[in-house]
Amino acid sequence: MSEIFSFAGESDFCPRGSIYPNPKETSLLLSLGSLVDVYFPPRKKSRVSAPLVARAFEQEPVSIDVLPDECLFEIFRRMPGAQERCACASVSKRWLNLLSSIHQDELEVISNKVKDGASKGDGEDDVESNGYLSRSLEGKKATDVRLAAIAVGTTGRGGLGKLSICGNNSASRVSDLGLRAIGRGCPSLRVLSLWNLSTISDNGLLEIAKGCSQLEKLDLCRCPTVTDKALVAIAKCCPNMSELSIESCSSIGNECLQAVAQFCPKLKSVSIKNCPLVRDQGIVSLLSKATYSLMKLKLQMLKITDVSLAVVGHYGISVADLVLSGLPNVSEKGFWVMGNGVGLQKLNSLTVTSCPGLTDMSLEAVGKGSPNLKKLFLSKCPLLSDNGLVSFAKSSSSVESLQLEECHRVTQFGFFGSLLYCGAKLRAFSLANCLGIRDLTTGLPVSSPCNTLRSLSIRNCPGFGDANLAALGKLCPRLQDVVFCGLNGITDSGLLQLVQTSQLSLVKVNLSGCSNLTDRVVSAISVQSDWTLEALNLEGCTKITDASLISIAENCQILSDLDVSNCAVTDFGVQGLASSNKLSLQILSLSGCSMVTDKSMPALGKLGRTLLGLNVQNCQSISTANVDLLIEQLWRCDILY
């Protein structure tokens, strides 16, 4: 026995030589591993078959998945390229999570080694850093798994440059793990928007700060667990930050604004809305340190006081766009000091909404302190009256666009007074829901006409009537775009005076909801503006009939958008439109036209040669079957029914 166990090779085991003189017969040896072979001599009758014995000794196949995460991590990070990593990520959720946890710096080391070996030279790292790709996740699609897949899948395919996540606070499936994957796998990220995500915290944004140093725009909305800590880290790690928007984030306060202003020299736009911890201290820090870079500032629904507006008026040297909304603690003094400061020399656009502190005196001060102001939008300012509006018009000679909404103390005298004194640059004027507007009972003082005004919009001002239209025709003879919506006080008489006194042909006309207008007005407009009229909206003008459509078909040469919804038009009018050789309509709306029936299908098919959009909703006399046929025929046209 000792001799048997002391063998050193085949000759020792079989001193007489090989058992099989024919080498081919060695196939009877069944390999069970690298150290053991089992021999079965040939027999005429075998009690146990060889295959059964082989299966008894056969080992189960071993999977790479039995390796611990540490080993798989080392394997994955040594893969030659992004394509191979993507293929592995599709194997299982475990592999996807491992691949998404690998930082790009760890891959670059291996990539350099591979390049040295001349087995990779496609410039993957250069392509990845460009950030061409954009991804958006909403609702149920917003999950950590999808974020991990994005982090792995966008590598080497242009790189992720823009990411938007809109979750559901009640059942959000995005957590810090998903943001960690983005932070580690998407160094080219430049734009990040996070909405309705109560499940993320500072930890997730800290990963973004570490891995996404190229971040330029950050938008946070309704993220209650994110604090100043995360934004301070982003400010320190992302020096290219230029736009910051924070809305309804209850844990974010003054500290982050100070850090952003200090560490982000390229900061151009800041928007803060409904953040209760943001007070005057934060606004002061922001404006005093970002004096020469900040160009756009929005302060909405904050508990700031007059101090903040004073700072804006003093340090807002570069601010060109300013929005102040929902500031109940700001008084008349705050607006007055802001206007009398020396910092709003470059202010181009000003929006003030729901600020009771804006009065006649403060608006005049703003006009004097903003010599380059071109756009002014005022909404829900209860203390603003005619005197303030006219004083502003006199003090600000550069205004090009003036919009008033729900300023009920402004009357027709303030409206016409601002037109008279607003200077030679006013091009657009808009009134909406101003209940103080009434029809003129006296004539306007003799003055030079406002020849620069091109666009006029009057919406839902029930007191506006024909006398105002007649006065506008004389005062503003060069109108091209007019919007008169929901004005039941105007009739053919007033609008005809406006059209007939106009020195320029109309381009866009919106008369929706003016129920007292008839075909006479449409005929006059179509004749006077035959070669200029591009869009005509007559929705809800119940006295408009087929005569208007016939006039449009005969005169309008370049009309592309026509809306006659809820008008008294019939099949005859639609056929008249189709018979015109001049029209090339692209948008046609017949919604609610109950007298348009299936007989109009051939005419609509003919119009469809140029149509891109057709609305036949609530046309009860048109059958669904004919609409289906029309959809097949007009495959280039979007049809609503």
pLDDT tens column, 367-397? 999 999 999 999 999 999 999 999 999 988 8
DSSP assignment of 70-123 equals HHHHHHHTT-SSHHHHHHHHTT-HHHHHHHHTS-HHHHHHHHHHHHHTTS--S-
Beta strands at 375-379 and 428-432: parallel, antiparallel or unpaired = unpaired
Residue the block writes with tokens 């005196």: 361
Whether the pLDDT of residue 495 is over 90: the answer is yes
- Considering the chain, what percentage of its residues have pLDDT values greater than 70? 85
458 φ, ψ (degrees, to nearest 5): -125, 115
- Tokens describing residue 468: 């105002």
Nearest 5°: CA angle at 190, between 187 and 195?
Answer: 110
Please list, in sequence order, all residues whose beta carbon lies within 8 angstroms of the beta carbon of residue 434, skipping any fewer than 6 positions away: 404, 405, 406, 407, 408, 410, 461
Please list, in sequence order, all residues whose beta carbon lies within 8 angstroms of the beta carbon of residue 60, skipping any fewer than 6 positions away: none
Give how far Cα 368 sits from Cα of 250, 313, 332, 338, 342, Å. Answer: 37, 12, 15, 11, 10
Q: Mean pLDDT across the chain, nearest whole number?
A: 86
pTM: 0.82
Q: Identify the weakest region by mean pLDDT among 89-98, 178-187, 490-499, 588-597.
A: 89-98
The predicted structure's pLDDT at residue 229: 96
Mean pLDDT confidence for 19-37:
41
Q: Identify the weakest region by mean pLDDT among 44-53, 165-174, 196-205, 583-592.
A: 44-53
The predicted structure's pLDDT at residue 582: 87
The predicted structure's pLDDT at residue 114: 41
Q: Which residues pair with 377 in a beta bridge?
A: 351, 403
The predicted structure's pLDDT at residue 170: 66
- Split at pLDDT 50, 70, 90, the class of 464 is very high
The sign one gets for the Cα dihedral 159, 162, 168, 169 is positive
- Split at pLDDT 50, 70, 90, the class of 429 is very high
Mean pLDDT confidence for 192-217:
94
- Tokens describing residue 256: 């982050």
The predicted structure's pLDDT at residue 415: 94
Calpha distance 278→231 (Å, rounded): 14
* Position 230, amino acid: A
Highest mean pLDDT among 35-39, 140-144, 555-559: 555-559
Residue the block writes with tokens 């006039």: 551
Q: Give the residue, 155 or 488, on which the prediction is more confident.
A: 488
Beta strands at 428-432 and 455-459: parallel, antiparallel or unpaired = parallel
- Split at pLDDT 50, 70, 90, the class of 450 is confident
**Residue of 559, 595, 560 whose CA lies nearest to 574:** 595
N- to C-terminal Cα distance for the chain?
97
Calpha distance 619→597 (Å, rounded): 8
The predicted structure's pLDDT at residue 446: 67
Burial class (CB in 10 A: 0-12, 13-18, 19+), 468: buried
The predicted structure's pLDDT at residue 405: 97
pLDDT in tens, 532-580: 999 999 999 999 999 999 999 999 999 999 999 999 999 999 999 999 9
**Residue of 317, 280, 318, 314 whose CA lies nearest to 299:** 280
Whether the pLDDT of residue 46 is over 80: the answer is no
The predicted structure's pLDDT at residue 15: 42
Q: Identify the weakest region by mean pLDDT among 224-228, 266-270, 438-442, 613-617.
A: 438-442
Whether the pLDDT of residue 112 is over 90: the answer is no
DSSP assignment of 130-154 equals T--EEEEEEGGG-BHHHHHHHHHHT
pLDDT in tens, 233-269: 999 999 999 999 999 999 999 999 999 999 999 999 9
Give 505-641's CATH code, choosing from 3.30.1130.10, 3.40.50.2300, 3.40.50.300, 3.80.10.10.
3.80.10.10
The predicted structure's pLDDT at residue 363: 96
Please list, in sequence order, all residues whose beta carbon lies within 8 angstroms of the beta carbon of residue 596, skipping any fewer than 6 positions away: 569, 570, 571, 574, 590, 616, 619, 621, 622
Q: What is the DSSP letter of 28?
A: G
Domain boundaries of the chain, sorted by first residue:
2-57, 66-126, 505-641
Whether the pLDDT of residue 124 is over 60: the answer is no
The predicted structure's pLDDT at residue 159: 85
- Could you tell me if residue 475 is left (phi over 0), alpha (psi between -120 and 50 degrees) or otherwise beta? alpha
The predicted structure's pLDDT at residue 251: 95
The predicted structure's pLDDT at residue 79: 73
CB atoms near residue 169 (< 10 Å)? 13
- Considering the chain, what percentage of its residues have pLDDT values greater than 90? 68
**Residue of 322, 326, 333, 267 whose CA lies nearest to 302:** 326
Please list, in sequence order, all residues whose beta carbon lies within 8 angstroms of the beta carbon of residue 593, skipping any fewer than 6 positions away: 564, 565, 566, 567, 569, 570, 619
- Could you tell me if residue 438 is left (phi over 0), alpha (psi between -120 and 50 degrees) or otherwise beta? beta
CB atoms near residue 14 (< 10 Å)? 11
Calpha distance 606→617 (Å, rounded): 19
Whether the pLDDT of residue 416 is over 80: the answer is yes
Residue the block writes with tokens 């007033």: 494
pLDDT in tens, 47-102: 444 454 445 445 566 677 677 767 877 777 777 777 777 777 777 777 777 777 77
Q: Which residues pair with 166 in a beta bridge?
A: 138, 195
The predicted structure's pLDDT at residue 189: 94
Mean pLDDT confidence for 25-42:
41
pLDDT in tens, 284-296: 999 999 989 999 9
Whether the pLDDT of residue 443 is over 90: the answer is no
- Tokens describing residue 75: 């394997």
